[in-house]
Chains A and B, each alone.
Chain A
Amino acid sequence: MATLELAINEGIAAPPVQRARRLGPLFWMAIGWVALVFAVAILAPVLPMPSPTDMDMLERRAPFSPDHWLGTDGLGRDELARLIYGARISLVVGLCAPVIGLTIGGALGMLAGYFRGRFEALVVGSMDVLLAFPPLILALAVTAYLGQSILNLTLILGVLGIPAFMRVARASTLTLARREFVIAAEALGATHARILLRELLPNVMLPLLAFFLLGVAVTIVAEGALSFLGLGVPPPIASWGSMIGEGRESLDVAPRLAFIPAIAMFLTVLSFNLVGDTLRALTDPRQGAL
């Protein structure tokens, strides 16, 4: 799963050559795009546009027009409206699922990296077991049996993200736990809880947040893939993935039906990746601490 794994793998490889990392124009364009997507998603209900579920059988696969800015899809529904409502889905799932990974995985990773010993072995071992399963299969099995719903989808994608966050949190904790400020806190008689919460957490949080953004990108892709196959969000809810899946049937006559949501998804994923990657480079715990 793309950039997320890369973030882990580049920890295996030697640290990349340091370059002065400035927030260039690309970074701000990415922020801009994400902000735009957020804005239209939140404002969707009040925007002056047709409903995404209204079917107009006379106007199927219609080209761009003043009534339908981006045309209509195979069932006569307004493309732009579906695109905007699709953004809502992608963002909801994309943001909520990684939160699960962040909180549970982050906590487990910090505890494992701090307490070491058998607890750590147990945590790492369980994550290895979870990682041995092909993630999409797991997601499919759960949604197929428990029913397709946004909630189930979010839960399973969230759980699947736990090992990755665990690894990041553990790696940061291992690096930081040996720094002077932790030893100093111990010498001053701080309890484990204090050290974890006051000293380690603020520092571990930074790389975790950067990773979170990468996780958002991955989740959007995963939800998109499942919805593309018709196995993600239940129809008729519009999701970029399902729009692309539906657009696949019209590739020969109206390729735009697949490509418009595809471009939207690509830009959104790219933006989250860019921002996450930049923040990751800036907050590498090897370089310092709060």
Chain B
Amino acid sequence: MPGFVARRLLYLLPVLLAVSLMTFLIASLLPGDLAYVILGDQATPEKVEALRHDMGLDQPIWWRYLGWLGHVLEGDFGRSFRTGQTVLQAVAERLPVSFELMILAELIGLAIGVPLAIACAAKSGGALDRFMTSTAFGMLSVPTFLSAILLIYLFAVELRVLPATGYVPLAEDPSGNLRFFVLPALTLALAEWPGIMRVLRSDMIATLQEDYIALAKAKGLKPSRILFVHALKPSSLTLVTITGINIGRLIGGALIVETIFALPGIGRLLVGAIYTRDLIILQGVVLLVAAGFVLMNFIVDMLYAVLDPRIRHGHT
């Protein structure tokens, strides 16, 4: 097991390094002189030159990259020149919001998708199965922002039971906080559940055809036990992969929902940084988000090993 973990970690490092390089390059090579932007209408050629020298912008790019990387490795991601906050502070502020959204969305998606998948797999080919498969397929063609509009129209405009935008921290007002999260989380969940359902269902149908399921039936075990213990466990690998990939994707991909519902999360932080040309924030946050995604994949791999003992022992 330790060997397995070490090997995976070794692969991680070059990827993370490449991600940091790419992030830096994107932020630095984009046109729009930073010094001009900061100085705004106070910009004169001498001031711009001076500021550039102060900020080290006249150094060669590879030098700046190494400098930045060095700071990053010490934990110093830099400070926004707009707000004065450090990157880490800004992220720490926004992370709980994005996190709560991601977790709620994935939980709701699982709560819808997993039972449906099991029910459809158990009676595959039946009426429920065919109906759910078509519905899931149709759902996949509904973009997130469309579901958002629909839900806002239904619940906020017509029925007026839920707020369309807004946020209050969980610590302050738990029930209020959750009210603000219902529509956004539901919007994302509507995009998540079809994928979860289809993949789990397909995996379970294949598993149910295995010999060991036939033997489990021959042993006279209860159908519920066969379904939930013998069939679900081998199929749960795929479920874990999908969930991990989804959450990883949601880390940066919930920005549409955050923007529509005005939630102060990481997505909105990034959009803001792009607009105000707050490159420090942009670089730092993108690196963190990408690193988070890579780490998420790593965790998924580890969970894989836990769930399938064959991988743990190096067999498959």
Direct contact of A and B (CB under 8 A): yes
Contact assessment for B146 and A229 in the assembled complex, using a CB-CB cutoff below 8 Å: no
A3 engages B203 (CB within 8 Å): no
Q: Does B124 contact A (CB under 8 A)?
A: yes
Contact flag A17-B253 (CB < 8 Å), given A6-B199, A10-B199, A144-B275: no
Stretch at the interface among B55-63, B83-91, B105-113, B134-142: B134-142
Q: Is B30 an interface residue (CB 8 A)?
A: yes
Contact of A2 (CB < 8 Å), options: B18, B26, B141, B153: B141
Which residues of B from 46 to 61 have beta carbons under 8 Å from A?
none
- Please report which residues of chain A, range 235-253, place their CB below 8 angstroms from some CB of chain B when the two chains form the complex: 241, 244, 247-248, 251-252
- Contact call A9/B22, Cβ cutoff below 8 A: no
How far apart sit A241 and B256, CA to CA, in the bound complex (Å)? 13
With contacts A144-B274, A229-B259 taken as known, whether A13 is within 8 angstroms of B143 at the C-beta atoms is: no
CB-CB contacts below 8 Å: B276-316 with A:
282, 286, 289-291, 293-294
Bound-state CA distance A12–B143 (Å) is: 24
Asked whether B198 lies within 8 Å of A125 as measured between CB atoms, the reply is no
Residues of A within 8 A of B245 (CB): 5, 9
Query: Is A87 an interface residue, CB under 8 A from the partner?
Result: no
A262 touches B146 (CB 8 A): yes
Query: B residues within 8 A CB of A14?
Result: 202-203, 206-207
User: How many Å lie between the Cα of A274 and that of B237 in the bound state?
Assistant: 28
A145 touching B32, Cβ below 8 Å: yes
Is B186 interfacial (CB-CB < 8 Å)?
no
The answer to whether A134 touches B251 (Cβ under 8 A) is: yes
Q: A12-B241, A13-B199, A132-B294 are in contact. Are A125 and B18 (CB under 8 A)?
A: yes
Q: Which residues of B contact A129 (CB under 8 A)?
A: 15, 18-19, 22
Is there an interface contact between A229 and B256, defined as CB atoms closer than 8 Å?
yes
A146, B31: Cβ atoms closer than 8 Å:
yes
A76 CB → nearest B CB, Å: 22
A266 CB-CB contact with B under 8 Å: yes
Given known pairs A9-B242, A229-B259, the reply for A133 and B252 (CB within 8 Å) is yes
A135 within 8 A of B: yes
Residue of A nearest to B282 (CB): A141
> Is A128 an interface position by the 8 A CB rule?
yes
Tell me how far the C-beta of A93 lies from the nearest C-beta in chain B, rounded to whole angstroms. 14
Tell whether, in the assembled complex, residue B143 and residue A251 are in contact, meaning their CB atoms are under 8 Å apart: no
Q: A137-B252, A266-B146 are in contact. Are A145 and B31 (CB under 8 A)?
A: yes
Counting chain B CB atoms within 10 Å of each CB, the highest count among A6, A135, A146, A277 belongs to A6
Given A146-B31, A273-B140, A277-B137, check contact A141 B26 (CB 8 Å): yes
- Interface range on chain B: under 10, 10 to 19, 20 to 34, or 35 or more? 35 or more
Q: A13-B199, A132-B294 in contact; A225/B144 too (CB < 8 A)?
A: yes
Contact (Cβ within 8 A) B157 A269? no
Annotate A126-168 by CB proximity to B: 1 below 8 A, 0 otherwise. Answer: 1011001111111011101110000000000000000000000
* Docked-complex contact A15 and B206, CB < 8 angstroms: yes
Most chain B CB neighbours (cut-off 10 Å) among A15, A129, A251: A129
Instruction: Fill in one digit per residue for B88-108: 1 if any A CB lies within 8 Å of its CB, else 0.
Output: 000000000000000000000
Bound Cα distance from A248 to B242, whole angstroms: 32
Interface assignment of A205: CB less than 8 Å from any CB of chain B: no
- Determine the chain A residues whose CB is within 8 A of the CB of B145 once the complex forms: 224-225, 228, 241, 244
Q: How far is the CA of A225 from the CA of B19 in the complex (A)?
A: 25
| Residue pair A125, B202 in contact (C-beta under 8 Å) | no
Taking CB atoms, residues of chain A closer than 8 Å to B198 are 6, 10
Contact residues of A: prevailing secondary structure: helix
- Given A132-B290, A132-B294, A136-B252, A16-B143 contact (CB < 8 Å): no
- Specify which chain A residues have a CB less than 8 angstroms from the CB of B282 in the assembled complex: 141
Check B149 for interface membership: any CB of A closer than 8 A.
yes
B140 in contact with A6 (CB, 8 Å): yes
B205 A128 Cβ-Cβ under 8 A: no
Check if B142 sits within 8 Å of A132, measured CB to CB: no
Within 8 A of A (CB), among B117-155: 124, 137-138, 140-146, 149-150, 152-153
Shortest distance in angstroms between A147's beta carbon and chain B's nearest beta carbon? 9
Contact B256 A9 (CB under 8 A): no
Contacts of B138 in A (CB 8 A): 270
Residues 101-147 (chain A) with a chain B CB within 8 angstroms: 125-126, 128-129, 132-138, 140-142, 144-146
**Docked CA distance A128–B18 (Å):** 10
The reply to whether A17 and B251 form a contact with Cβ atoms under 8 Å apart is no
> Is A266 a contact of B142 with CB atoms below 8 Å?
yes
Q: Which of B23, B141, B275, B289 is in CB contact (< 8 Å) with A3?
A: B141
Distance A277 CA – B136 CA, assembled complex (angstroms): 13
Known: A14-B203, A15-B206, A265-B146. A136 touches B253 (CB 8 A): yes
CA distance A27 to B146 in the complex (A): 23
- In the complex, besides A14-B202, A136-B252, A273-B137, 15 extra interface pairs with C-beta distance below 8 angstroms are A9-B241, A126-B18, A133-B23, A133-B289, A134-B249, A134-B255, A135-B253, A137-B255, A137-B286, A141-B26, A228-B256, A247-B149, A252-B157, A258-B149, A277-B137
Report 26 cross-chain contacts, Cβ distance below 8 Å, ordered by A residue.
Answer: A2-B195, A3-B140, A5-B245, A6-B140, A9-B238, A10-B198, A12-B238, A13-B238, A16-B206, A132-B291, A134-B249, A134-B289, A137-B274, A137-B289, A140-B274, A144-B275, A145-B274, A146-B30, A146-B31, A221-B143, A244-B146, A251-B152, A251-B157, A266-B146, A269-B142, A273-B137
- B: residues with CB less than 8 A from A are 14-15, 18-19, 22-23, 26, 30-32, 124, 137-138, 140-146, 149-150, 152-153, 157, 191, 195, 198-199, 202-203, 205-207, 238, 241-242, 245, 249, 251-253, 255-256, 259, 270-271, 274-275, 282, 286, 289-291, 293-294
